[in-house]
Amino acid sequence: MISPLQPITVAQLNRYARALLEEDYNLRSACVVGEISNFKPHGSGHWYLTLKDESAAMAAVMFRDSNSRLGFLPQNGMRVLVRGRVSLYERDGKFQFYIDDMQPDGLGALYMAYEQLKARLEEEGLFAPERKRPLPPFPQRIGVITSETGAVVRDIINVLNRRFPVAEVILCPVQVQGPGASEQIARAVRLFNKNAAADVLIVGRGGGSLEDLWAFNEEITVRAVANSEIPVISAVGHETDTTLCDFAADLRAPTPSAAAELATPELRIILANLTNYRRNLQAVMLHQVKRQREQLNALMRRRVLQRPEELLFTSRQRLDAAQQRVRDGMRAKLLAEKSRLEHAQAKLSVMNPMQVLSRGYALALKEGVPVASMNQLNPGDILDLRLQDGVCQVVVWAMES
C-alpha cells in the first residue's frame, strides 16, 4: 500500500504501478487491434513498435522467442491484431504492451508471409525467365515427388503409362502437408539431383487451402526447386491454385495430370510420325533411283560409250601429231645450236695466237711473261722463244731501239 503522507521513490511508484497492471485479470491476456508505426527490429532480435488508432497510441514490444514463430515481417502502416499482456517498464515508467502473438487484421498471416517471401525471392532473381530450362523432348526417366497415397500419384502414373510407356517412372514418396513436409520435398529434389536419377521432375500434390499447400510456399522448398539441375514441373493443386514453387519451377502445370502430359511426348503420335517419315523417305529414294537410272541410260546411249575405240583413235592421232611437233622442234633447235657453235669456233680461231705463229712469228717470254717492250729486257736475259712447233731459249746480247 502507498500512504499519501509518506513520500516514496520513483522506482517504488513504478514498481507499484506495474504490480497493479499485472494483477489485473483483464490485462494479463488482452487482444488489441491497431496500426503499426515506428517499427524497429533490434539487433537482439526483439521488435519495438507503436500501436495506434485514430485517437491514441501505446508502446509495444515483441521478444525474439515470440516473433520467430511468425511467418511475416510487420511493416509500418500495417493493421494488426495482437495478443499479449500489459505492464510497465519500470526504468522509464513507460506503459507498454508485451506481444505474444500477432496476426494481420483483415489479411491472413499466411498470405502476408506468401507475399513477402515472393517479393524477396523475386528480387533475388529466383523467378527470372532466363533461369527457366527447356524440358527434354524424350525423357528416359521421370521423377515424381508427391504423396504415395491418393489420386495424384495414380493420375500421374496412368497418364505417363498411356502417353509414353517406354519411360521409367521413379516415385519418391514424401509428406505434402503438415510439419516437416517442406523439408521432405526439398530433400527429395536434392536427392534426385545428387544421383542424376531423372531427366525431368514432377513436384506436386492435389488441391487444397492455402494452409494445405503451404509446404510448397516454404523457402526451403522453393530454393530446392529453383536450384535443381534437373528441369522441374510444378503441379500443385488445381488450376486456380498458385504456389511459390510454380514461380521457381521451369514449368508450371495447372494439374498433376497436365504435368504428366507436359513431361512426355505421346508415343502413339511419335510412331505415326515415324511411319509417315518412312513412307516419305521411301518415296524420295524411289524418285532418286528412277532419276539416276534415266541419267545412266542417257549416258549409255552416247556414241563415246557405244564405240569407245573412236575416242582412242582420236587420242592416238593427237599423240602422233604431238610427237612429230616435238621431233621437229628438237631438230630445229639442234641445227640452230650447231650453227651458233661453228660461228663461235670461227671467232676463236681468228683470236688463236698459234695461228699467228704459223706465219713465221715467234712469242718471247721472260719468266713466263710475254715481252711486249724493250723496257722489259736487259742484256744477258734468258728468254723463252715460242715458235709454231716448239720452244727454244735465247740470250739477249745487245739491244737496239
- Secondary structure of 149-201 as H, E, C letters: CCHHHHHHHHHHHHHCCCCEEEEEECCCCCCCHHHHHHHHHHHHHHCCCCCEE
Nearest to 136 by CA among 26, 277, 250: 250
In terms of domains, do 143 and 260 share one?
Answer: yes
Specify the number of domains making up the chain: 3
CATH of residue 217: 3.40.50.261
Residues of the chain where predicted confidence (pLDDT) is lower than 50: none
DSSP letter for each residue of 316-381: HHHHHHHHHHHHHHHHHHHHHHHHHHHHHHHHHHHH-HHHHHTTT--EEEETTEE--SGGG--TT-
Paired with 364 in beta bridges are 385
User: In the prediction, which pLDDT does 198 show?
Assistant: 96
Q: What angle do CA 48, 53, 54 make, to 5 degrees?
A: 140
Residue 222 belongs to some domain of the structure = yes
Cell of 233: 514441373
Q: How many CB atoms lie within 10 A of CB 43?
A: 5
Within this chain, do residues 260 and 145 fall inside the same structural domain, yes or no?
A: yes
Are 95 and 180 members of one domain? no
Domain identity same for 178 and 258: yes
Number of residues written out for the chain:
401
Same domain, 260 and 161: yes
Q: Is residue 208 part of a domain?
A: yes
Is 210 among the domain residues? Answer: yes
pLDDT number for residue 138: 93
* Nearest in space to 231 (alpha carbons), one of 187, 201, 196, 263: 201
pTM of structure: 0.54
For residue 350, is it within any domain?
A: no
Amino acid 353: pLDDT: 67
Same domain, 151 and 220: yes
pLDDT tens sequence across 178-229: 899 999 999 999 999 999 999 999 999 988 888 889 999 999 999 999 999 9
- Confidence (pLDDT) at 398: 85
User: Does 157 lie in the same domain as 233?
Assistant: yes
Residues 160 and 206 in one domain: yes
Parallel/antiparallel/unpaired status of strands 79-89 and 251-252? unpaired
Can you say whether residue 262 is alpha, beta or left, with left for phi > 0 and alpha for psi between -120 and 50 degrees? Answer: alpha
| pLDDT value, residue 320 | 85
Distance CA 107, CA 116 (A): 13
User: Domain containing 21: what range?
Assistant: 10-107
Answer yes or no: is 176 within a domain: yes
User: Residue 231 is placed in which grid cell?
Assistant: 528441369
Which residue is listed with cell 722463244? 385
Out of 107, 127, 162, a domain closes at 107
Name, in order, each residue with C-beta under 8 angstroms of 86's C-beta and a sequence gap of 6 or more. 21, 22, 24, 27, 30, 95, 96, 97, 98
pLDDT for 85 equals 92
**260, 133 in Cβ contact below 8 A?**
no
**31: domain CATH number?**
2.40.50.140
Q: Specify whether the CB–CB gap between 49 and 35 falls below 8 A.
A: no
Q: What is the pLDDT of residues 292-315, one digit of tens each?
A: 998 888 887 877 677 777 667 778
